[in-house]
Structure 1
Amino acid sequence: MPGILPKTSARPGPGRVVLLGAGPGSADLLTVRGARLLGLADVVLHDALVGPDVLALCAQARLVAVGKRAGQASMPQDEINAKLVLAAQEHALVIRLKGGDPMLFGRADEEMQALEAAGIPYEVVPGVTTAFAAAAASRQPLTKRGVARSVAFFTSTNGDGQPEQTSLPSCDTLVQYMGGREAIQTAERLLAAGKSPEMPVLAVENCSLPQQRILRLSLAELAQGRLEQLRQGHSGPVLVMAGWAMQVRPSQS
């Protein structure tokens, strides 16, 4: 079977793969190690949400778009795995560049299994996950003494053939990744479970990018679809944080 990319050099064995976290979006939130590796890469297989400023750091590399977007036509995971393995068989340094952190909603498990089965060495370089960048951008800590001492990251997005998630984590602060329309159902479930309609909710769209927007609303407003109304005419990934730690401080008013 022909390779997806031309060979750059002949070697006795496969190259090395790095599963690399691109962070929340802004190129200057990459780790120093991540930026250095991007500058050395032969091939970069990147997610759809990795922006041009980050990709500019690996201008010498062959770029392969393998993005997956919820609700849109995207490359099957098996095909991504195959491209990753084949690229590593043909090149010295291959980077699988993932938004946020590879080990959080990054499908790292499937890709690591594929690399292990093929005998390809790899390492994982973490990135700043969007929840931390969103908390920093909004100046709302995810934990707060006397108010919130537990945090849960979750998503309602399921893979093909997987059962729908019907339960929610039980903790003080809920952080929902890919939380656009799905966040409305989350709010409905929280209200049905007895949570206060006044519970503060904070949504961050396009976190860390120039077009970032921070939206504040209540749990009741979220359940009523207010978030979708506020986002009309806008597009971009949304992270939703709910809990009393999101309450506006008097100095923020």
Structure 2
Amino acid sequence: MHYLGAVKREDLEDCGLRVELNARHLLLVLLAQQQQKFEAAEANLPDIETANTRVARMYRKGVHEAILSTIEELVSSVQKLCALGCDLVANDSHALPKYIMAGGMPCNTASSETDTEDSSRSKRARVESSLEQFLSTVLITEAAFESDSEFALAAAQVDVDEDTLLALFVIRLLHNPSSAWHAAIKRLEDFKHPMLVAGQSEEYAEMLMELYEIHEALFPVLSETFPEVFPAEQFSLDGFLWAAGVVSALDVRVVVRSDGAAAGGLCVV
């Protein structure tokens, strides 16, 4: 699949950019594991030269080359998707899937760049820098807290897990028009996590109870301790349930190296 170039809306509207990135991460992890197993087995093969072993060696070489070329293609496609994500943010657009944006703004994943096999240094440098840009300016992680010094200072004193901190930060972003992520979060204002509207299943009840308990443990204490950062009217239970749903539904793992290493965060484009 090629997404940079003549990108059509239907290419991403069913699953979205986040799912495409997560799928490539999973495939790359599996291929990296197969590559390691293959190379370990290859190192232990007996050094016997016969017609059959020559054929087997050629076959194994072909398999290994196929694994390596597939890994290279996956890494390249991740870099292109990250470049697309940066373009979407620059154009105040998104590639969120239909199930999230039903009734909301239409996806706009068009790009003016043509999709060629050009491997010039300038293009490669642009794509690689787009990966770094995506991780630092598009993906919302704990590192993003530094963009809001008041929140970062308060968050450093709150002993909760990363997902809860991200949920609190999402609420903060929703009410902070000066934030670079405000427009993207604002698009999700009417989003409801499927688990939170699915019905009274046992799993639903457990998830809801856990979120209730987290919110009860944090508020009103945080609102009283840091009133400017966590105003009570913004950090209500309903607001926290919404933000927790956003964090749960839009998490992403982005491949950063061909060995399967990845960075994680929240993808809201």
TM range (shorter): under 0.3
Q: TM-score, normalised by structure 1?
A: 0.27
The structure having more radius of gyration, on CA atoms, is 2
Q: TM-score, normalised by structure 2?
A: 0.26
Q: Which has the higher relative contact order, 1 or 2, with Cα contacts under 8 A spaced 6 or more apart?
A: 2
